[in-house]
Amino acid sequence: MASLDLHKRRTAAVARGVSSTISSYVDHASGGTLTDVDGNEWIDFASGIAVTSVGNAAPRVVAAVREQVERFTHTCFMVAPYELYVSVCETLNTLTPGDFEKRSMLVNSGAEAVENAVKIARHATGRTAVVVFDHAYHGRTNLTMALTAKNMPYKHRFGPFAGEVYRVPMSYPLRDGGLSGADAAARAIDMINAQIGATNVAAVLIEPIQGEGGFVVPAPGFLPALAAWAREAGAVFIADEIQTGFCRTGDWFASSFEGVVPDLMTLAKGIAGGLPLGAVTGRADIMDAVHPGGLGGTYGGNPLACAAALASVETMRELDLVTAARRIGLTLGGRLRDLVASDPRIAEVRGRGAMQAIEIVQPGTLLPDPVTTSAISAECHLRGLLTLTCGTYGNVLRFLPPLVIDDRALERGLDTLAAALEAVRAA
């Protein structure tokens, strides 16, 4: 077994803190499946955590990167600039919501995008406080660990953390008694006013649908009320669309669903078909507040990643992946709701488009059941379906297929999930 050998080498060479969902090693991957080094095939409901929305090794991306790699691989945009970086910024400024003038900057990862959005918001407002939410996930660097809610595994014994970060309650309909969006926003805003003071707030930072925190979809009205409060308070409203962006939820960006227009957006994951790229895009007056030289990094907006991003966006347009995500959402949501009807362990199906999840509880209660969740997940892996778990309580199974997955693979994946749920029930 080639994977077993690789696992031995890995254990002796790779730091233990870096773990993997499955212990098989990938040989090649396409638009909906991964094949391991022993020839086993997996249906991909993970997309490398919402990254390969256009598929793995997508033809346009491969061609664009191949062409660019022969021209030049790196000059550093801060040293000798190139058109690809400018083109990506132009594309992001056009694609993102808001008909005002925009600017963008490019980085290497999601966490770096969030770090920069906070830097920019603080600089532009001259304020320091950043408001974040329960169950939030924003990354693993020091500032983004502070912004992230969950201790294990992200923060445990990694402190001290960056200061001036304040956490307020999220709208989580399953677990807040079905509080309306307006009431949940009022609860958060009361806390901000009382504990921070509106004039101290540099930024309100939120995922329109939470990712690692459990695919929590806030009640309607929650996001618009927070955005309105931020505008009134002179704070920057930052939507972290790193997981929700680029067609995933059946819109180019999840903020658009309720007509929310963020001041700044953080982007990464689905942006470049698997090449490492992140971005901050938003209002020109806020972005341009920072002095020349105040933003940057050696690799940010690497030419290969930029070429991949332009090719990914072209692919999304050409294949109409907004519509594809909605169609996947109908199939996924429909099948999951059928399962929930006959399975008291599933408290709820939630999500939007090709970003859907089920929350697993002890039947008849809302008590999270992470043990059953892991068992179902392991059973899926055993049966050739790659799924991920998430949630503050580790009791959410999330489904993020590539947006180019074909109907047969999608149905086969859902059949496998149903069989895994049944097998764990019978065990």
Nearer to ligand PLP (CB atom), residue 241 or residue 359: 241
Cβ(202)–Cβ(131) below 8 Å: no
**What size, in residues, is the chain?**
427
Q: How far apart are CA 319 and CA 421, in angstroms?
A: 33
Q: Which is nearer to ligand PLP, 34 or 268 (CB)?
A: 268
What's the min distance (Å) between Cβ of 194 and ligand PLP? 27
Identify which of residues 33 and 243 has a Cβ nearer to ligand PLP in the complex: 243
**Burial (CB count within 10 angstroms: exposed 0-12, middle 13-18, buried 19+), residue 153:** exposed
| Whole-number Cα distances in Å, 260 to 125, 181, 222, 350, 351 | 21, 14, 10, 20, 18
CB of 117 to ligand PLP, least distance (A): 10
**Strand blocks (E) in 289-363:** 346-352, 355-360
Find the shortest distance in angstroms from Cβ 413 to ligand PLP.
22
Pairing relation of β-strands 388-390 and 385-386?
Answer: unpaired
Nearer to ligand PLP, 212 or 359 (CB): 212
Q: Residue 68 or residue 210: which is nearer to ligand PLP going by CB?
A: 210
Q: Between residues 44 and 379, which has the closer beta carbon with respect to ligand PLP?
A: 44
Q: How far is the CB of 274 from ligand PLP (least distance, A)?
A: 12
Q: Are 42 and 36 in contact (CB under 8 A)?
A: yes
Closest C-alpha to 49, from 369, 355, 378:
355
Please identify, using beta-carbon distances, which residue of 203 and 421 lies nearer to ligand PLP: 203
Give the nearest distance from C-beta 408 to ligand PLP in angstroms. Answer: 29
Nearer to ligand PLP, 134 or 207 (CB): 207
| Beta pairing, strands 388-390 & 396-399 | antiparallel
Q: Which two tokens stand for residue 185?
A: 């926003």
Are 65 and 304 spatial neighbours (Cβ–Cβ below 8 Å)?
yes
d(CA 196, CA 324): 43
- Minimal distance, residue 328 CB to ligand PLP, in Å: 19
Measured distance CA(250)–CA(253) in Å, rounded: 8
Nearer Cβ to ligand PLP, position 240 or 348? Answer: 240
Q: How far is the CB of 108 from ligand PLP (least distance, A)?
A: 8
Residue nearest to ligand PLP (CB): 110
Question: Closest approach of Cβ 224 to ligand PLP, in Å?
Answer: 19
Residue 403 C-beta-side C-alpha neighbours within 13 Å: 35
Q: How far is the CB of 120 from ligand PLP (least distance, A)?
A: 16
Helices (H), 126-236: 142-147, 181-195, 222-233
Nearer to ligand PLP by Cβ, of 240 and 263: the residue is 240
Which residue lies nearer to ligand PLP by CB, 250 or 278?
278
Q: Burial level of 136, CB count in 10 A (0-12/13-18/19+)?
A: buried
Least distance (Å) between residue 211 CB and ligand PLP: 4
DSSP, res 361: B
125 contacts: CB under 8 Å, gap ≥ 6: 202, 203, 234, 235, 236
Surface-to-core class of residue 117, CB atoms within 10 Å of its CB (0-12 exposed, 13-18 middle, 19+ buried): buried
User: What are the beta bridge partners of residue 78?
Assistant: none
Instruction: Give least dist CB 50 to ligand PLP, A.
Output: 7
Residues that bind ligand PLP (CB under 6 A): 109-111, 114, 137-139, 207, 211-212, 240, 242-243, 268-269
Question: Is the CB of residue 237 less than 8 Å from the CB of residue 283?
Answer: no
